[in-house]
Amino acid sequence: MAFKNTSEYPAKQKQLNEDIKNGTLKQCYLIYGDEVYLRNQNRDKLKKALVPEGDTMNYQLYEGKDINPGEIIDMAETLPFFADRRTIIIQNSGLFKSGCPELAEYIKKPSETAYFVFVESDVDKRKDMFKAVQKIGLDLNCETQTEDILKRWVAGLFAKEGKTISPRAQAVFIDRVGTDMANISNEVEKLICYCMDKNEVTEQDIDEVCANWLTNRIFDMTDAIVEKNQKRAIDLYYDLLALKEPPQKIMGLISSQFNLMLQVKEMSESRTDLATIMSVIKRPKFVANKYINWTRRYTMQEIKDTLEMCLNNDLAIKTGKLDAVISVEMLIVKASA
């Protein structure tokens, strides 16, 4: 497992692992943070440690924002059936953002047989629920991992399968697939299968097997913009922000798409043949056709106006006149209006 070099994460992850190893499990755990892969991994480890295999009588899962705190407390107060404990896992409840005085007060002094695991994407440390967990349990913030740590993690995944990958290839791999650990794990598995008869994973293997995750997302976003589907375009944008992609990088990629559209628009209006367009923009036939269809939704001036807005917004960000996140949203709204 990868660890982020912060003041709290390594120590708390180590504590959780030791609780499981030594059988000294706390009655309440809160697993939260940006990295879904780590959240799910720690949730599953705790479930395995707390719930004997095949025991469905003493395990309860609650999920979503429509959870009844009274029902949870009643379940916690119910004695386990021929077992030492009852395990309750609560996911994506939003209770650590909105607060829940009733449940917070209960988990400070729960039934001796009740064990809680909360799994949330985001929390407010000022709320009663967070403070209650701190009093009797352990909170673990599963943060997005640094690039250096992800490289070491990737190297370790390949090493388990008897394969090596150079530092340069590691960097190419992370740049290609992004920093989401679930996506990384899937792409590593694909590469292992592809390189079945090889000992080393190379940059060429990565180019042939791994899709450019970020470019694909930007392509989908541009598609939504051109189709005037503002909601989908904005949703894709905030998905990228949630995965820690810098707004200015996103804006640069959108700008690149419109630059290509401008070239295609000029060639299309000059009746340039498809083969030449493919050669100029260095894209395969189906992608070139996509750009041709996109340009039909815009006038030449509209494309130029979008590119000018990219330049102006970039300057405004650099001079502190405009927030980076808002600037890209403004761009998406204008281009998809």
69: nearest Cα among 141, 128, 27, 140: 128
Burial class (CB in 10 A: 0-12, 13-18, 19+), 271: exposed
Q: What's the mean pLDDT in 55-72?
A: 94
Asked if pLDDT for residue 21 goes beyond 50, the answer is yes
Handedness of CA 121, 126, 132, 138 (dihedral sign): positive
| Superfamily of structural domain 9-141 | P-loop containing nucleotide triphosphate hydrolases (3.40.50.300)
Asked if pLDDT for residue 215 goes beyond 80, the answer is no
Give the number of residues written for the chain: 337
Quote the pTM value. Answer: 0.66
Report yes or no: 226 and 297 within 8 Å, Cβ to Cβ.
yes
Q: Tens of pLDDT along 268-321?
A: 999 999 999 988 988 778 788 889 999 999 999 999 999 999 999 999 998 989
Q: What's the mean pLDDT in 33-44?
A: 93
Q: State the pLDDT confidence band at 7, using cuts at 50, 70 and 90.
A: low
Q: What's the mean pLDDT in 216-229?
A: 86
Asked if pLDDT for residue 214 goes beyond 90, the answer is no
Spans of all domains in the chain: 9-141, 147-209, 213-335
Asked if pLDDT for residue 33 goes beyond 60, the answer is yes
- What CATH class is the domain 147-209? mainly alpha
**Per-residue pLDDT, 290:** 86
Instruction: Provide the 8-state DSSP code for 145.
Output: P
Asked if pLDDT for residue 195 goes beyond 60, the answer is yes
Q: State the pLDDT confidence band at 8, using cuts at 50, 70 and 90.
A: confident
Q: Which two tokens stand for residue 277?
A: 């367009």
Summarize the chain as % helix, strand, coil (round to 5).
Answer: 60, 10, 30
**Per-residue pLDDT, 337:** 84
Query: CATH second-level architecture of 213-335?
Result: Up-down Bundle (1.20)
Report yes or no: 258 and 295 within 8 Å, Cβ to Cβ.
no
Instruction: Provide the 8-state DSSP code for 92.
Output: S
28 phi, psi to nearest 5 deg:
-150, 130
